[in-house]
Structure 1
C-alpha cells in the first residue's frame, strides 16, 4: 500500500519537474544573451564539472600510459612521448618521468597487468567519457542516456582520443612544416574532434549543425591554452618535480587539467547558448530542449 501511495507522488514530482524545466528553458530562450549566458553557466556548474572531469582524466591517464607501455610498439610510445612534449612543453625532469613510464620493459609491464588487468583498465578509463557525457546532456537540457545504450560510445570516445594523442605531436609541428601550419591544423582537428564528441555522447539526439558553435569555441580555447602551456607548464613541472619528486608532477598536472576542462566546460555550455540564439537557431535548426 505504501508503494502504491508513493507512485502518484513520484509521478506528480516528475510532471512538476518537467513543466518547470520546460518553462525555464523557454524563458531563457527569450531572455537577453548575457542573462541566458549567466543562467547557463550556473546550470552547468562550471567549476564542479571541470574539477570532476580533470580528476577522472587524470585517473584515466596514468593507467592508460602503463597500457601503452605494455602493448604498443616502440614507435607508438615514442609518438605519445613526442605528443606530450609538444602539447605540454615537457622537458627536463618532467619529461624524464613520463619517458620512464613509456619506456618500461614491455614484458615486465605485461606480466604485472595481465589480460584481465588491461580490460579493467580500459573499462575504468571510460569514467571520463561518462562524466563528459553528463556535461553535454546538462548543457543541452537532455535526459541521461541509459548505460546500455551509451556504453559503446564511452569506449569509442576513449579509443579515438587515444589515437588522436599519438599524432598530436606531428599535428602541433605541422608535420614538419612549421608552427604556423601546426596551429591551424590543431584548431581544425580539435574542432572536428569536439564536434564528433558532442554528437557521439549525446547519442545523436542533437543534429550536427547546432553542435558546431560549441566545437569551435572549445577548440579555440584549447588552442590558446596549448600554446600558453608552452610558457607555464614546463617551468612549473620541473620546479615541482625538483622540489617534491613525482608527487609534484601529480599536483601540477592536475591543476593544469582543471584549467583545461574549465575551458572545455565553458566551450560546450556557451555553445548551446550561441546555437539557440534567435536567427542563428533557425539557421542551424537548433531543437527545442526536451522535457526531463
Structure 2
C-alpha cells in the first residue's frame, strides 16, 4: 500500500472516530479567523485610546488611580511606559481638556467605541454561524457590553492581587471572573439566540487563553513597551500594544469558535443542548 493510500485511510479513520476534529479544522480554515482577529484588535485599540482620555478627563481621582493600578497589574508597567500612562491619567487636572471634550464629545466617543462591540458580536455570530442580529435588538447590547468591559478592566488590579491575598488567590479569581465575562459576552452579543450551557466551552477556552496571556504579559510586556518607547517614541508604544492586542484577540476568536464546535458535536452536544431560545 502506498503512503498516499495509507494517509487517506488514516484520515478517513480519524474523521470517523473523531468527527469533532474534522469540524474544528474545517471551521478554523474556512472562517478567516486571523482576519477577524486582526479587525477585532484594531477596533479594540481604536476604542480604548479615546475612552482612556475620556476617563482621564471626567472621572474622579480615585477612579483614575484605580485604573492606573489595574493597567499596571495587566501589563506590569514600569519605568517610561508607566510614566506615559500616568501622564495621560493626570490630564484631567487641566480644565481645558474637559471644556474641549464636553459631555457631547464623551457620548460620541462612547458611541464610536461600540465598533469594538460590533466586531466582537460578529466574531460570536460567525462562531455559531448565525446571521447578524437586527440593530434595534443589538444596539443597547453593544453599549452595555462596552461599559461592563470597562468596569472589568477597572477592577483587574484588586482581582489579580486576590484582594490583598496575592497571586495564589488572584490567578484562580481571574480565571473564574473571565469565564463569567466570556459566558455572558456570548449570550449578550448573540442576542440570547443560544442558551447558556452550550456557551460554556467557549467561555472556558477564552478564559484559559486570556488568563494565560495576562500572566505572560506581566513578564514580557514591560520590557517590550519600554524598549519600543525608547527606540521609536510613542509610536513604538502603539505598535507594541497593538501587537499584544492582535495576539489576545486571535486567542479569543479561536477559543470562541472552537468552543462553539465542541458544544455542537458529540460527546458534548448530548449534555449541552443547543436549541435556540425563542
TM-score by length of 1: 0.87
Q: Once the 2 structures are TM-superposed, how far is the Cα of residue 183 of structure 1 from its aligned partner?
A: 0.2
Q: Are 2:203 and 2:256, in contact at CA under 8 Å, matched by a contact in 1? A: yes
Aligned partner (choices 154, 171, 195) of residue 159 of structure 2: 171
Aligned to 1:129: 117
Matches within 5 A, 1:114-263: 114-263=102-251
Aligned to 1:54: 41
Supply the distance in 1 between the matched residues of 2:94 and 2:134 (Cα, whole angstroms): 37
The CA RMSD over aligned residues, in Å, is 1.6
Q: Once the 2 structures are TM-superposed, how far is the Cα of residue 287 of structure 1 from its aligned partner?
A: 3.1
Aligned partner (choices 24, 28, 32) of residue 41 of structure 1: 28
- Segments of 5+ residues of structure 1 without an aligned counterpart are 1-27
Q: Once the 2 structures are TM-superposed, how far is the Cα of residue 163 of structure 1 from its aligned partner?
A: 0.8
Q: Are 1:71 and 1:106, in contact at CA under 8 Å, matched by a contact in 2? A: no
Q: Are 1:44 and 1:269, in contact at CA under 8 Å, matched by a contact in 2? A: no
Supply the distance in 2 between the matched residues of 1:163 and 1:228 (Cα, whole angstroms): 22
Q: Once the 2 structures are TM-superposed, how far is the Cα of residue 29 of structure 1 from its aligned partner?
A: 11
- Segments of 5+ residues of structure 2 without an aligned counterpart are 1-14
Moved more, 145-154 or 37-46: 37-46
Supply the distance in 1 between the matched residues of 2:194 and 2:44 (Cα, whole angstroms): 25
The number of residues matched between the two structures is 261
Q: Are 1:126 and 1:154, in contact at CA under 8 Å, matched by a contact in 2? A: yes
Q: Once the 2 structures are TM-superposed, how far is the Cα of residue 106 of structure 1 from its aligned partner?
A: 5.2
Q: Once the 2 structures are TM-superposed, how far is the Cα of residue 43 of structure 1 from its aligned partner?
A: 3.1
Supply the distance in 1 between the matched residues of 2:181 and 2:61 (Cα, whole angstroms): 26
Aligned to 2:63: 76
Alpha carbons of 1:106 and 1:190: their partners in 2 closer, same or farther (altered >3 Å)?
farther
Q: Deviations over 1:243-263 (max 9, x none)?
A: 111111000000000000011
Residue 102 (str. 1) matches residue 89 (str. 2): yes
Supply the distance in 1 between the matched residues of 2:46 and 2:233 (Cα, whole angstroms): 19
Residue 271 of structure 1 aligns to a residue whose secondary structure is: helix
Residue 155 of structure 2 aligns to a residue whose secondary structure is: helix
Supply the distance in 2 between the matched residues of 1:29 and 1:126 (Cα, whole angstroms): 43
Q: Are 1:137 and 1:202, in contact at CA under 8 Å, matched by a contact in 2? A: yes
Alpha carbons of 1:156 and 1:30: their partners in 2 closer, same or farther (altered >3 Å)?
farther
Q: Are 2:20 and 2:266, in contact at CA under 8 Å, matched by a contact in 1? A: no
Alpha carbons of 1:30 and 1:209: their partners in 2 closer, same or farther (altered >3 Å)?
farther
Q: Deviations over 1:89-139 (max 9, x none)?
A: 111111111111111125232112112111110000000010110110111
Q: Once the 2 structures are TM-superposed, how far is the Cα of residue 31 of structure 1 from its aligned partner?
A: 7.2
Alpha carbons of 1:29 and 1:101: their partners in 2 closer, same or farther (altered >3 Å)?
farther
Residue 192 of structure 2 aligns to a residue whose secondary structure is: coil
Aligned to 1:111: 99
